[in-house]
Homo-oligomer: A and B are copies of this chain.
Amino acid sequence: MSDNGVLIILSGPSGSGKDTVLNRLVEADENVKVSVSMTTREKRDGEIDGIHYYFVSREYFEKKISENRMLEYAEYAKNYYGTPAEPVDEMLSRGKSVILKIEVQGAEKIRNRYDNVISIFLMPPSMRVLEERLRGRGSEDEETVQHRLFIAREEIRRAYEYDYVVFNDTVENAVNCIEAIITAERHKIDRNKNIISEVINNV
């Protein structure tokens, strides 16, 4: 089927379970990869360069920005965070499907840069479940929980900007559904333009 992998944006509010779903997806399918972000912040104990983040200097990060080699980036608390283009392009060219975990605000930049990118919004089954998950973390005070719920509602209102919506009612359902979306997308005729002449001409 299609030579190039499928590029997928995955967004969803804090507490929607993006990391759990992504870890399971990567375990289940060796042809699905999750892009690693780049950051200028200090490496913390237990973090591995190239796995959790690419840890780089501020100078290096700004060079990548100026060369237009960052798919998207932002600055928080005086550190840069972003998605470098090279590893994504390299994986796509090897036929891997690549998932970018991107904030709703960053998704637009990716769509403008790549043809054929698809976007999935990971939806909590309800606001009640989302609230339980946020409280379940135990580390946030009431004000933080309420703020995150407010942000979550704002993000959910923008779900219509995405191609697909997947409910994270159970991790298994969400993973199966995203795998089906990737399979379907690989069989889009737009991604298989050469198929027709190959079948007709190769006896």
- A202 contact set on B, CB distance < 8 A: 126-127
Q: A127-B202, A199-B126 are in contact. Are A189 and B162 (CB under 8 A)?
A: yes
Does A195 sit at the interface, judged by CB under 8 A?
Answer: yes
In the assembled complex, the Cα of A181 lies from the Cα of B188 at a distance in Å of 9
Residue of B nearest to A198 (CB): B126
Does A121 sit at the interface, judged by CB under 8 A?
Answer: yes
Residue of B nearest to A119 (CB): B189
- A128 contact set on B, CB distance < 8 A: 203
In the assembled complex, the Cα of A196 lies from the Cα of B203 at a distance in Å of 50
CB distance B159 to A189 under 8 Å?
A: yes
Chain copies in the assembly?
2
Residue of B nearest to A124 (CB): B199
Q: In the complex, how many residues of chain A place their beta carbon closer than 8 angstroms to a beta carbon of chain B?
A: 38
Query: Which residues of chain A from 175 to 192 have any CB-CB distance to chain B below 8 Å in the complex?
Result: 176-177, 179-181, 183-185, 187-189, 192
In the assembled complex, the Cα of A186 lies from the Cα of B121 at a distance in Å of 14
Does A117 sit at the interface, judged by CB under 8 A?
Answer: no
Q: Which of B126, B156, B165, B192 contacts A187 (CB 8 A)?
A: B165
In the assembled complex, the Cα of A180 lies from the Cα of B6 at a distance in Å of 15
- A193 contact set on B, CB distance < 8 A: 160
A166 to chain B, nearest CB (A): 6
CB distance A200 to B156 under 8 Å?
A: yes
Show 27 residue pairs from A and B whose CB-CB distance is below 8 angstroms, ordered by the A residue: A123-B195, A124-B199, A126-B202, A127-B199, A156-B196, A156-B199, A156-B200, A157-B200, A159-B195, A159-B196, A162-B189, A163-B188, A164-B184, A164-B187, A165-B187, A165-B195, A166-B187, A177-B183, A177-B184, A177-B187, A179-B180, A180-B180, A180-B181, A181-B184, A183-B184, A184-B184, A184-B185
